[in-house]
Amino acid sequence: ALLELKNLAIDLGFRPVAGAAFIGEHSFATKDAPIASGRPDSLDVQKARDFGVKIKEKIAALQSPDTRIDLEIPGRFPYEGGPRPMVVAPVTKEDTCTLCGTCASLCPTAAISVNDSVETTIELCIRCCACVKSCPTGARVWEDSVMQTITTWLKENCGTRKEPQMFGIDAQSPVM
């Protein structure tokens, strides 16, 4: 994904000088299935600040704005095709939903509408789980078995702490 982002930036006329993959809590994480919970933490934030300082120093040291920078980012090109997008969304347990609208107000794609009930336009849902995490009564849930399987797999296979990877800030990229 980072290589693809770098190439997209170049295609749009930008000139990337560094890149990083920082850790954040997975959108599917729950209390029962923690996946990078609490991330980014204070150590991550400090690493990001240090990374920013190094980028600033790198840019300040350039001979001119036209200085060519060959930023090496690991990855495969052509990009591998990912799985087909899933057409699923969280559902609302009507018996515990108070129709407060918190889910709709926090949905970044406006996929949720609240009137006499909560309706989700599945095609607009990006499965970010903002509605699930923010529902004050726990009425927004995943009932899809595939999503539950994915969450279980992530919990079992992504449970150990990973550190950010940074590229292009000095001769020893990546910096951990």
pLDDT in tens, 56-107: 999 999 888 888 888 999 988 887 777 777 788 999 999 999 999 999 999 9
pLDDT digits (tens, 9 = 90+) for 18-27: 999 999 998 8
Structural domains of the chain ordered from first start? 2-82+162-167 (no CATH), 91-143 (3.30.70.20)
User: Do the Cβ atoms of 34 and 71 come closer than 8 Å?
Assistant: no
Q: What is the pTM of this model?
A: 0.73
Matching residue, tokens 């350039």? 62
Q: 57-83: string of b/e by CB count within 10 Å (b at 16+)?
A: eeeeeeeeeeeeeebebeeeeeeeeee
Q: Is residue 119 within a helix (H) or strand (E), and if so which, with residue range? A: strand 118-120
Peptide bond before residue 34 is cis, with ω within 30 degrees of 0:
no
Matching residue, tokens 């599917």? 28
